[in-house]
Chain A
Amino acid sequence: MSDTSQELHAQSMTELADGLDAGEFTSVDVTRSLLDRIGELDAKLNALVTVTAHEALAAASRADQARAAGNGGPLNGLPIIHKDIFCTRGVKTTCGSRMLNNFISPYDATVVEKLADAGAVVLGKANMDEFAMGSSNETSYFGPVRNPWDLECSPGGSSGGSAAAVAARLAPAATGTDTGGSIRQPAALTGTVGIKPTYGRVSRYGMIAFASSLDQAGVITRTAEDAARLLGVMAGFDERDSTSIDRPVPDYSGAINEPVKGLRVGIVRQHFDEGLDPQCGIRVKEAIAALESLGATAVEVDLPNLDLSVPTYYVVAPAECSSNLSRFDGVRFGHRAENAEDLLDLYCRSRGEGFGDEVKRRIMTGTYVLSAGYYDAYYLKAQQVRHLIADDFKKAFSDVDVIAGPTAPSPAFRLGEKIDDPITMYLNDIYTIGANLAGLPGMSVPCGFVDDLPVGLHLVGAHFAEETLLRFAHQYQQHTDWHKRCPEMFK
């Protein structure tokens, strides 16, 4: 083993790739080192639901052999963690739920398959809010994930396990999914980079559905450079997902090196209203000033229907989830209640026992808004508002290249603080939800600290403007070192 091994966990994916290429260490070295670290530190975080040590070492060994033979994909031997919403063949895929606590997927999600084909080594499966419903990771059947920056705090959610693992240097990257902010909000709260691509950019096949018209897979990393590298592998048309878009995947890794000079940054005044923690507001404004110092121009843009995004989201997402989660009925897979008296009893108890409170709340809300007599007033109306919101963004992007603002209204909050108040919890996604409703790419980049807790800068782009987002984020990271800071106890 190379003598640099104790620092392997601190390296970004790109740095690890360079080290592997230079023969400084092997993938088995990297994998073993990170598995050791997970074994040692994850008890503090609860970031992983499953550790696939055996499979990871075998994959690393294969990657090393491939490298020795001059073969191997673009991610050959590089470690990654998958959010437990992605189906992984032969490995438990729980979606953070008791319902799927016994579910071994018979197939790989497209994202999993693509990353594996590129040579990535999967260390394990990350904890998450149950069925991705939550903003604090407290709805998980496997218990909350803790924020590496303060173990009493939430890492955000629903991709909280992915974000905490990357922030704590248990892995350089993890996959996530984002329906209303589930990649970007935890990235902001843990000081990591999170990108949710344009709806349709990455296949949803094998990603357990929450709200199909909003769900999109992405990644959490520490650098925009790593995000670009991974997105280049994950993106692309998939004939198994009718909503994935047949459009060439650009060279993200090349695009990030372009300067942002001359680009226009839109600022939304309402983003800085009273809902935002003032200290966070200062960090975000500093970040925007930094972008200006790189040659970008900040201009004000208007998103007049922004305040409707949370209520709209909480009609559309539950409606789709109420239908998507009907397949969990205890008949073919998943949790099945024992000694059911009859069919109805089997359904009621399997679902009653298998799902947690937040999932039930959303199924009931969704069932209600789709019911005869309420459909027009809720679901149809929400779809109309959704169009208005999308139009607002479209108008804004005729003037600017990116919209910048806060990712979340505050830094990480304490575990238990909001879980009993759904409305306050839902407001955590107020800045991120618009991008999902409009299908736009969004990204969070670490931009400073408030009381030793990280703050995220939120960037939203036009459809398929991932290159622009990554370019802003990368250029910003070239001039800042927020992303290099590591939580004290995980150094």
Chain B
Amino acid sequence: MKAGWEVVIGLEVHAQLATRSKIFSGASTAYGAEPNSQACLVDLGYPGVLPVLNKEVVHMATMFGLAVNATVAPRSVFARKNYFYPDLPKGYQISQFELPIVEHGELFIADADGKEKRIGITRAHLEEDAGKSIHEGLDQSSGIDLNRAGTPLLEIVSEPDLRSAKEAVSYMRKIHTIVRYLGISDGNMQEGSFRCDANVSMRPVGQDELGTRSELKNLNSFRFVERAINYEIERQIELLEDGGEVVQETRLYDSDKDETRSMRSKEESNDYRYFPDPDLLPVEISAEYIESVRQQLPELPSAKQQRFVEEYGLKSDDADLLTGSRALADFFEAAASATEAKAQLVANWVIGDLSAALNRDGMDIVDAEVSATELAGLLTRIHDNTISGKIAKQVFEAMWDGEGSADAIIEAKGLKQITDTSAIEAVVDAVIAANPGQVAEYRAGKDKLIGFFVGQVMQATKGQANPGQVNQILKDKLSG
């Protein structure tokens, strides 16, 4: 960012709640069905129908509130947000306005210097999603798919505490991790179950007063959030430095062109005429209920991260990566508990080779070709010196390809490490004899050549010689 300017960002994250039925009707929320096959009379806004609150969403919102150290309101109220649009069947969206279910939360991210930074969560409220207008493939007309209408959303609004696109992305990732840990959202961004709007404004460094903001709509990937905000920062700075003014407006990010463009200005915006929905009673939550939800909360990412550092002695960054998803953390713990190998070694493998293989094959951790116990079996063989780390990579690939357990592969391929000193000495002698020039150089003080000799020995033993022993024997013989 150009010197002299500070960006102020607040995010509104929309997390689709993972209920089976909709927030106010019994229709299914499953994704990808035939258009309008999952919209009942309530979703269609038929005359005379009434909404009935799905209690599961209250439970989920309560979990979220507790997870971000927020106040869960003893009484919250659904309101109607009135506007006309074809994908909004009732002509109003049921949302929470003045009295949301969650308020005053917080979470912590790392800032640019790696220091912990608190980001306030103003509120999180429950609301229903709208349907979808379809323009493609229809001649001269538009279609409406109301399958998504009435899908439960938790809208999570941050304080304007974020100071860069990177911080915004870390915050969004944190929220993403939390909702998936809690099991309250699948967080699937391709399907639109997790998306956000970003409010972005600029001000000169040192100024307290906030600048005029624009709202970037419907950012449905972490990459787009970062790019859209950065584009917007550049755009606003350019505008301000040219003596112009930022207009308060809603802008849409076009990922193809990597730019934002105006959707509607404040003057054109609707007066939503919010008022409490008389069809729904206020949501009342007792202290006992909140306490019972608290008892059932799973261990949260930050607590797990800390525990991984303390209990397993992991590097903080590694613990961070491992706790990025509950499934990955579970995999690590399962593997670590099944082997004598050091936990850091297990962590290195889960973050390294295992994650690489998953990425390469586009797989999720739960579908990994090598299970936690199978991986543990492999790591045990590194730990007890049966194989070297290098050979282990080869064994791992074979395991991934379904060739069997680590022991079976080591056995079948004869990969067992050579630890017999006399056998290694024989190879070392041969290497020394075959490379008199290098030997002379080494003895003249070119210590680095030790790597060359180790390489020669390992090549000759197909990598199976114990590297520690090879090193020791080489040094002894070369200095002799």
Cβ of A212 < 8 Å from any Cβ of B? yes
Residue contact B82 to A370, C-beta cutoff 8 Å = yes
**CB-CB nearest in chain A for B279:** A212
Q: Which B36-52 residues have C-beta < 8 A from chain A?
A: 41, 44-52
CB-CB under 8 A from B80, the residues of chain A are: 323
Given contacts A240-B52, A242-B280, contact A370 B47 (CB under 8 A): no
> A100 is contacted by which of B44, B47, B89, B90 (Cβ under 8 Å)?
B47
Give, as a whole number of angstroms, the nearest-CB distance from A436 to chain B: 12
CB-CB under 8 A from A107, the residues of chain B are: 41, 46
Cβ of A208 < 8 Å from any Cβ of B? yes
Task: Indicate with 1 or 0, residue by residue over A307-336, a CB within 8 angstroms of chain B CB atoms.
Answer: 000000000000110110111110111100
Cβ of B86 < 8 Å from any Cβ of A? yes
Cβ of A372 < 8 Å from any Cβ of B? yes
Chain B CB within 10 Å, residue with most, of A242, A322, A333:
A242
Cβ of B400 < 8 Å from any Cβ of A? no
Cβ of B275 < 8 Å from any Cβ of A? yes
> B50 is contacted by which of A204, A322, A333, A347 (Cβ under 8 Å)?
A204
**CB-CB nearest in chain A for B80:** A323
CB-CB under 8 A from B82, the residues of chain A are: 322-323, 326, 370
Given contacts A93-B47, A206-B49, contact A319 B279 (CB under 8 A): no
Assembly CA distance A208 to B47 (angstroms): 5
CB-defined A-B contacts under 8 Å, sample of 14: A107-B46, A204-B50, A207-B48, A208-B47, A208-B48, A212-B279, A213-B278, A243-B279, A322-B82, A323-B91, A326-B84, A329-B86, A329-B91, A333-B46
> B271 is contacted by which of A206, A320, A329, A372 (Cβ under 8 Å)?
A372
Assembly CA distance A331 to B192 (angstroms): 25
Cβ of B281 < 8 Å from any Cβ of A? yes
Assembly CA distance A367 to B51 (angstroms): 22
CB-CB under 8 A from B275, the residues of chain A are: 319, 323, 370, 375, 379
Cβ of A445 < 8 Å from any Cβ of B? no
Residue contact A205 to B49, C-beta cutoff 8 Å = yes
Cβ of A11 < 8 Å from any Cβ of B? no
Residue contact A239 to B52, C-beta cutoff 8 Å = yes
Cβ of B92 < 8 Å from any Cβ of A? yes
Cβ of A343 < 8 Å from any Cβ of B? yes
Cβ of A413 < 8 Å from any Cβ of B? no
Assembly CA distance A327 to B84 (angstroms): 9
Cβ of A105 < 8 Å from any Cβ of B? yes
Cβ of A109 < 8 Å from any Cβ of B? yes
Having A243-B281, A370-B273, one finds 19 other A-B pairs with CB under 8 Å, namely A87-B47, A95-B47, A103-B47, A105-B47, A106-B46, A107-B41, A204-B50, A205-B50, A206-B48, A208-B47, A209-B48, A212-B278, A240-B50, A320-B278, A323-B82, A333-B47, A370-B82, A372-B271, A372-B273
Assembly CA distance A322 to B44 (angstroms): 18
Cβ of B53 < 8 Å from any Cβ of A? yes
Assembly CA distance A487 to B280 (angstroms): 44
Assembly CA distance A154 to B50 (angstroms): 33
Task: Indicate with 1 or 0, residue by residue over B264-293, a CB within 8 angstroms of chain A CB atoms.
Answer: 000000010111001111000000000000
Given contacts A240-B50, A333-B46, A370-B273, contact A327 B279 (CB under 8 A): no
**CB-CB nearest in chain B for A244:** B50
**CB-CB nearest in chain B for A103:** B47
**CB-CB nearest in chain A for B133:** A343
Task: Indicate with 1 or 0, residue by residue over A41-80, a CB within 8 angstroms of chain B CB atoms.
Answer: 0000000000000000000000000000000000000000
CB-CB under 8 A from B48, the residues of chain A are: 86-87, 105, 109, 205-209
Cβ of A371 < 8 Å from any Cβ of B? yes
Chain A CB within 10 Å, residue with most, of B45, B51, B91:
B91
Task: Indicate with 1 or 0, residue by residue over B89-123, a CB within 8 angstroms of chain A CB atoms.
Answer: 11110000000000000000000000000000000
What 8 A-B pairs are tightest by C-beta distance, nearest first?
Answer: A326-B91, A370-B273, A213-B278, A212-B278, A206-B48, A327-B45, A208-B47, A87-B48
Q: Which A256-283 residues have C-beta < 8 A from chain B?
A: none
Cβ of B144 < 8 Å from any Cβ of A? yes
**Interface of A, helix, strand, loop or mixed by DSSP:** loop
CB-CB under 8 A from B279, the residues of chain A are: 209, 212, 242-243
Assembly CA distance A135 to B455 (angstroms): 100
Assembly CA distance A347 to B92 (angstroms): 15
Residue contact A327 to B47, C-beta cutoff 8 Å = yes
Cβ of A399 < 8 Å from any Cβ of B? no
Cβ of A241 < 8 Å from any Cβ of B? yes
**CB-CB nearest in chain B for A347:** B84
**CB-CB nearest in chain A for B142:** A343
Task: Indicate with 1 or 0, residue by residue over B6-49, a CB within 8 angstroms of chain A CB atoms.
Answer: 00000000000000000000000000000000000100111111
Residue contact A242 to B281, C-beta cutoff 8 Å = yes
CB-CB under 8 A from B271, the residues of chain A are: 371-372
Assembly CA distance A332 to B40 (angstroms): 13
CB-CB under 8 A from B90, the residues of chain A are: 326-327
Assembly CA distance A467 to B273 (angstroms): 40
CB-CB under 8 A from B41, the residues of chain A are: 106-107
Task: Indicate with 1 or 0, residue by residue over A201-217, a CB within 8 angstroms of chain B CB atoms.
Answer: 00011111101110000
CB-CB under 8 A from A326, the residues of chain B are: 82, 84, 90-92
Give, as a whole number of angstroms, the nearest-CB distance from B396 to chain A: 56
Give, as a whole number of angstroms, the nearest-CB distance from A360 to chain B: 15
> A241 is contacted by which of B45, B50, B86 (Cβ under 8 Å)?
B50
**CB-CB nearest in chain B for A99:** B47
Q: Which A103-146 residues have C-beta < 8 A from chain B?
A: 103, 105-107, 109
CB-CB under 8 A from B47, the residues of chain A are: 87, 93, 95, 100, 103, 105, 208-209, 327-328, 333-334
Chain A CB within 10 Å, residue with most, of B45, B46, B51, B80:
B46
CB-CB under 8 A from A103, the residues of chain B are: 47
Assembly CA distance A333 to B275 (angstroms): 26
Residue contact B52 to A242, C-beta cutoff 8 Å = yes
Assembly CA distance A240 to B49 (angstroms): 8
**CB-CB nearest in chain B for A348:** B84
Q: Which B359-394 residues have C-beta < 8 A from chain A?
A: none
CB-CB under 8 A from B53, the residues of chain A are: 242
CB-CB under 8 A from A328, the residues of chain B are: 47
Chain A CB within 10 Å, residue with most, of B41, B92, B275:
B275
Give, as a whole number of angstroms, the nearest-CB distance from B243 to chain A: 32
Residue contact A242 to B51, C-beta cutoff 8 Å = yes
Residue contact A331 to B86, C-beta cutoff 8 Å = yes
Assembly CA distance A218 to B63 (angstroms): 42
Give, as a whole number of angstroms, the nearest-CB distance from A58 to chain B: 24
CB-CB under 8 A from A332, the residues of chain B are: 44-46, 89
CB-CB under 8 A from A325, the residues of chain B are: 91
Chain B CB within 10 Å, residue with most, of A95, A106, A323, A367:
A323
Assembly CA distance A165 to B278 (angstroms): 32
Assembly CA distance A372 to B81 (angstroms): 12
Chain A CB within 10 Å, residue with most, of B52, B84, B144, B278:
B278
CB-CB under 8 A from A375, the residues of chain B are: 273, 275
Assembly CA distance A95 to B51 (angstroms): 21
Q: Which A272-309 residues have C-beta < 8 A from chain B?
A: none
Assembly CA distance A379 to B84 (angstroms): 21
Q: Which B312-359 residues have C-beta < 8 A from chain A?
A: none
Assembly CA distance A86 to B80 (angstroms): 24
Assembly CA distance A109 to B49 (angstroms): 9
Give, as a whole number of angstroms, the nearest-CB distance from B271 to chain A: 5
Give, as a whole number of angstroms, the nearest-CB distance from B96 to chain A: 15
Assembly CA distance A213 to B280 (angstroms): 10
**CB-CB nearest in chain A for B84:** A347
CB-CB under 8 A from B51, the residues of chain A are: 242
Assembly CA distance A217 to B53 (angstroms): 23
CB-CB under 8 A from A213, the residues of chain B are: 278
CB-CB under 8 A from A239, the residues of chain B are: 52
Residue contact A367 to B52, C-beta cutoff 8 Å = no
**CB-CB nearest in chain A for B90:** A327
CB-CB under 8 A from A367, the residues of chain B are: 273
Task: Indicate with 1 or 0, residue by residue over A350-380, a CB within 8 angstroms of chain B CB atoms.
Answer: 0000000000000000010011100100010
Task: Indicate with 1 or 0, residue by residue over A180-223, a CB within 8 angstroms of chain B CB atoms.
Answer: 00000000000000000000000011111101110000000000
